[in-house]
Structure 1
Amino acid sequence: MSRLAIVTAAAVLMASATAHAAEPIALRDMGSFHVGGRLVEITGKPVKEVTFTPGGVPAKVDPNGTYQVEQMYVQYFLPQNEKGAYPLLLWHGGGLTGVTYETTPDGREGWLNYFLRKGWSVYNSDAVERGRAGWAQYPDIFKGEPVFLTTANPFERFRIGDGAGSYDPDPAKRKLMPGSQFPNEGYENFVKQNVPRWTTTDDATIAAYIAEIDRVGPCIILFHSQAGTFGFKVAQARPDKVKALIAIEPAGVGDPAKVESLKNIPTLMVYGDYIERDSRWPKIRATGGAFADAIRAAGGSVDVVDLPKVGIKGNSHMMMMDKNNAEVAGLIQTWLEGKGLTKK
C-alpha cells in the first residue's frame, strides 16, 4: 500500500471515528492481572519500629525475608464485536505508564479507546517499576537510583517546545514548535502522569513483557519510545507469537545480531515532526532507520513513515496525545488492515 493511500484512508477513518465517538463501547469482558516477576531474599537488615497511623501503636517491621518484585500490571478490554485478528498490546515509554494510551491530557479519547472501537482486544500495561506494577527497594534489588523529571523536561525534550528554555509556567509564554499539535492547555495534566524510572531494570522489564506474551498468546505489539528496545527484543525472543510490530518513535532497537528473527514479522515505524530541529532525535531516527534496513536486508518487511512527508504535520514525540491523534491512529489502522491483520 502506498503512503498516499495510507494517508487518504486514514483521513476517512478519522472522520468515521469522530462521527461515532459518542457511541457506547460494548465489551464482552474486561479485567486485569499481574504477570512476571521473581522472588528475592533480603537479609542482614535491622528491625524497625513503624507507626503506621498518627497516634497509633508502633509495630515492629522486620525487612528481612522474601519479596515479590519485578512484576508487571496489565489491564485488558475485549470488545463484543472483535475485528482484530490478534490482541493489540500497548507498551508505554520511559517515565510513563499505561495512562499514555488512555484519555488525552486535554480530555479527548486516547488510542486505547480508538482501537477498542475498531474492534481490537486491547491489553494496556504498566511495566516493571511503573504505576500499579509497583517498585522494589534500591539498591538492594533495583540497582542505582530512580530518575525524576522536572516540569520543564518533557516539554523541551519531547519536541513539544522549541528546545531548551522553551518552557514557561504560563501557557501563553511557552515557545511551542511551529504548528505544534500537542494540546498545550493540557500540559500540566500530562506532567502529572510522569513517574520515576530506573535505568537499570531493562532485563526485568523484558522478562515481564515476555511473560505477558506467553500468557496472552499470538499478538500485535504497539510500543513507544523507551519501549522500542523492549518491543524488538521481545519479538526476537518470541518471533512465533508476535504477528506485527508498530514502533512509535522507538528510542532504541533490538539486537542487530538477531535481526533475522524479525524477518517474518511485518513492522511499521512512525516518526513525528521537528526531528531535524532537535539535538538528539536526528541520531535516534537514524538508528531506527538503520535497524529497519537491517531487517529488510534479512528478508523482512518494514514500512517507515515520517508523518510530515505524508502530509501529517505538527506531531510531537507524544503523538498519541496530540490533537490529531485520531489521524495518526487511522494511519496505523489502515496499515494493519493492509497487512491482513483484521477479520473479514
Structure 2
Amino acid sequence: MPRLRIAAALAAVLAMPAFAQEPLQVREIGSLHVGGRVATIEGLPEREITFSPGSPPLRMNPNGDFQVEQMYAQYVKLANPRARYPLLLWHGGGLTGVTWETTPDGRPGWQMAFLRAGHDVWVSDAVERGRSGWARFPEVLAGEPVFRTMGEGWGLFRLGEQAGWNRDPARRVAYPDSRFPLAHWDQFMKQGVPRWVTTDRQIQAAYDAYVQAACPCVVMVHSQGGNFGFTAALTAPDKVKALIAIEPSGAPPQAAEAARLKDVPHLVVWGDHVAENAFWARIRQNIDRWQGQIRAAGGTADTLDLPAEGIRGNSHMLMMDTNSDEIAGRIQAWMAAKGLMR
C-alpha cells in the first residue's frame, strides 16, 4: 500500500510558521444552518408547564410543525487566506465541532492551527448534535439516543486496553507511549453528546446540503464523519477538492463508483495501536479496500501511517494528542504538495 512520507523538517516548518504567534487578520466570523425539513407532529397530549420560577403555568400543545434535521456550521474567514479553498472540519460520533477547537488540556486545536496555516476554517455540528438541535424521538428521530460512558472511549479511542479503565484517575492504565493528555480525559468526556444510530440518512442529506452551500472546499473528517465525507465527495466531486480522513470508521460499499473520485485526492491518517485492536483492525481493512478502489480507478488515495513513520502512541483523537501540531503540519504539507495552497 502506498505510504505518504513527508520530510520532518518540512512538516515542522509548516506546523509552526514564522507568523504563528502573530494576531490573525480575520475578515468575517459567522454561522448558518443548512438542510432540514418541516415535520408535523399530531396526537400528543397537552401539558401544563411552568417555564421559569414564579411565572404562571402555560398550557403547552406539543403538536404542530417543527423544523428538524438541520445542521449548524460556523465559519472564520481570513482577510488574506493562502489556501485556495475553505477547509471544512467534520467531527465523529458522540461528539460535536468542539473536537477541532481547544484541546482538553488547553492548547489551541486544529481550528486555530489551520487558520494560522492560511485556511478559512468551517466547523460544524452534525444533525442532532450540539447547536444543530434535537427533534422529538421517536416521533421524528427513530429509536432513542445512545450515550457514551466515561469508560467506553478509553479502549475504543485507544488510550489503553479497555481493562485499563478505572473511575479513579490514579488507577487507570494507559499505553506506555500514549500521546493523549491522560490527566485531562475527564475534561474531554465533558464534550460527549448523545447520538442516534438511526439517522445516517438525515445526517448525510445535511452534509450534502452543506457542501452545496460552502464549497468548493477541502473536507477533513474524523471517525464517524468519514463515511459521510467519502459519500459527500462521491455526490459532489466537483465541489470537494480534496478529502482528508482522520481515522475514518466507515467507507462506501464495494459497489460505489470510485472512478468519480479520480480527481479528488484523498489522505487517510492513522494513529497507533490499530492492529492490536480488533474493532479498529477490521475498520482499517475496510478503509484500505476503499482506498484501493480509488487508486484502481486512477485516483489518489494516500495514507499517513504515523507509527510507520516512527511516530508512536497516537490515539484515535489525533487532533488532541500532545503532538497534534506535528500531525497538523504533515497534513498541511500534503495539502501544499497537492496544489491546494496559493
Same fold (TM over 0.5): yes
Conserved 8 A contact 1:269-1:302: yes
SS of equivalent residue, structure 1 residue 268: strand
1:224 aligned residue: 222
1:52-110, Cα deviation, whole Å (9 max, x unpaired): 12332111111111000011110000112201100100000000000000000000010
SS of equivalent residue, structure 2 residue 69: strand
Counterpart residue type for residue 199 of structure 1: V
The 1:4–1:262 alpha-carbon spacing in structure 2 relative to 1, beyond 3 Å, is closer
SS of equivalent residue, structure 1 residue 34: strand
1:279 aligned residue: 278
Counterpart residue type for residue 134 of structure 1: G
Distance 1:186 1:21 in 2: 25
Q: Give the stretch that moved more between structures: 192-201 or 298-307.
A: 298-307
Conserved 8 A contact 2:5-2:304: no
2:86 aligned residue: 87
Q: Give the stretch that moved more between structures: 216-225 or 163-172.
A: 163-172
1:308 aligned residue: 307
Q: Give the stretch that moved more between structures: 257-266 or 125-134.
A: 257-266
Q: CA deviation at 1:258?
A: 2.1
Q: CA deviation at 1:329?
A: 0.4
Q: Which runs of 4+ in 1 moved over 4 A?
A: none
1:13 equivalent in alignment to 2:14 = yes
Distance 1:247 1:266 in 2: 11
Conserved 8 A contact 1:233-1:255: no
Conserved 8 A contact 2:154-2:162: no
Q: Give the stretch that moved more between structures: 151-160 or 317-326.
A: 151-160
Distance 1:284 1:2 in 2: 18
Conserved 8 A contact 1:97-1:125: yes
Q: CA deviation at 1:13?
A: 2.5
1:182 aligned residue: 180
1:59 equivalent in alignment to 2:58 = yes
Q: CA deviation at 1:149?
A: 1.0
Q: Give the stretch that moved more between structures: 50-59 or 70-79.
A: 50-59
Counterpart residue type for residue 241 of structure 1: K
1:115 aligned residue: 114
Q: CA deviation at 1:262?
A: 1.4
Per the normalisation by structure 1, the TM-score is: 0.95
2:258 aligned residue: 259
SS of equivalent residue, structure 1 residue 285: helix
1:323-342, Cα deviation, whole Å (9 max, x unpaired): 00001101100000000000
Q: CA deviation at 1:185?
A: 1.5
Conserved 8 A contact 1:224-1:247: yes
The 1:230–1:6 alpha-carbon spacing in structure 2 relative to 1, beyond 3 Å, is farther
Q: CA deviation at 1:27?
A: 0.4
Distance 2:3 2:165 in 1: 38
RMSD: 1.5
Identity of aligned residues (%): 51
Distance 2:257 2:235 in 1: 9
The 1:23–1:172 alpha-carbon spacing in structure 2 relative to 1, beyond 3 Å, is farther
1:48 aligned residue: 47
Conserved 8 A contact 2:85-2:340: yes
Q: CA deviation at 1:20?
A: 5.0
2:139 aligned residue: 140
Counterpart residue type for residue 335 of structure 1: W
Conserved 8 A contact 1:271-1:306: yes
The 1:113–1:207 alpha-carbon spacing in structure 2 relative to 1, beyond 3 Å, is same
Distance 1:3 1:89 in 2: 22
Q: CA deviation at 1:26?
A: 1.6
Distance 1:260 1:6 in 2: 30
Distance 1:222 1:6 in 2: 22
What stretches of structure 2 of length at least 5 have no aligned partner? Answer: none
Per the normalisation by structure 2, the TM-score is: 0.96
Q: Give the stretch that moved more between structures: 220-229 or 46-55.
A: 46-55
Count of residue pairs the alignment pairs up: 340
Counterpart residue type for residue 319 of structure 1: L
What stretches of structure 1 of length at least 5 have no aligned partner? Answer: none
2:27 aligned residue: 28
Q: CA deviation at 1:151?
A: 0.9
Counterpart residue type for residue 166 of structure 2: D
Conserved 8 A contact 2:129-2:195: yes
